[in-house]
Amino acid sequence: MTERTWSGMIMAVTTPLLTPWWRNRREAETREANGGIEPTAILDWRSPEVRALTGELGSAEHDRDLLQQAHSVIAATVRPVYAVDDAQPVSRTLARGRGSCSQRLAVLEAVARSSGIATRSRGLLVDGHFWYPRFRRLRFAVPDAVLLAWPEFRLGEEWISASELFEAPRNGKRTAEFTNADGETLFDALARGAVDWDGVTSTPAMCSTCDLSATVLRDLGRFDSRDELFTRYGQTLCWPARTLAEPFLSHWAAGSTAPAA
């Protein structure tokens, strides 16, 4: 038996075991959500940490400008790491000064809600292969599917995806591809409009370098908050896997080859 065959067998057995198998994620739902501005266990925007962050923001004429400004501050002050606890309160992420892509997105949501901008979450199951470039030597441990809470913001009378927070690339306009292989995370890629889960940036004759729609295994619909999404479907990793991985991965900076000492 070759090393490749053995690794493949390990991967086929191990990756499903890391996820909360008792959660039924097979049936996609067509559901909408009203969202809201209330604090939640994750989006605890009444905490001193969130209030301190919002205090760093300058005046903004429009809500979109405020969110763009908040995104820049979060990108500069919250170091990207491979943490795996998606239910971690925003206040703890800010106190640590580091967080995963999901945790940094939650910080942006908390800032939005504290500023009176309603948010909701879209549940996306993304193919685990999408994360292989970041974990070349640990591919056997990457879950077969990653549950992503993708924020949406209520600007005026319209809901916009986090993908549209900055100017989205138009059809035919080339922008650098998001490879998910270096220090740039999905959170950071928003600033250059490089994240497209729905294929809206592709034309029939050309595939956009921002089009990530082929990696989406299932759309679980919208939820009033990321708390509701994770309560219904569980996090990407089951509790034992999160408990073992969090101390190790929460110090591993995105783009580096090894965790910090």
The pair of three-digit structure tokens given for residue 114, joined into one six-digit string: 């504290």
Chain centroid to CA 84: 11
Q: Look up the pTM and report it.
A: 0.84
How far is Cα of residue 50 from the mean position of the Cα atoms in its chain?
19
pLDDT of residue 237: 82
The answer to whether 251 touches 61, Cβ cutoff 8 Å, is no
Cα–Cα dist 36/234, whole Å: 21
Short-list 101, 146, 147, CA closest to 122: 147
* Cα separation, 155 vs 209, whole angstroms: 27
**Polymer length of the chain:** 261
Strand partners, 105: none
pLDDT in tens, the chain (261 residues): 343 433 343 333 345 555 554 455 555 556 679 999 999 999 999 999 999 999 999 888 999 999 999 999 999 999 999 888 999 999 999 999 999 999 999 999 999 999 999 999 999 999 999 988 887 777 777 888 999 999 999 999 999 999 999 865 554 455 678 888 888 999 999 998 889 999 888 776 556 778 899 999 999 999 999 999 999 999 988 777 777 777 767 766 776 555 554
Phi, psi of 191 (to 5 degrees): -65, -20
> Looking at the domain 29-249, which fold is it?
C8orf32 fold (3.10.620)
- 219: exposed, middle or buried (C-beta count within 10 Å: 0-12, 13-18, 19+)? middle
Residue 64 carries which side chain, given as an amino acid letter? R
Q: Give the integer Cα–Cα distance in Å for 168 and 131.
A: 23
Q: Show me where the domains of the chain are located.
A: 29-249
**43: which residues sit within 8 A by CB, 6+ positions away?**
90, 106, 109, 110, 113, 119, 225, 226, 227
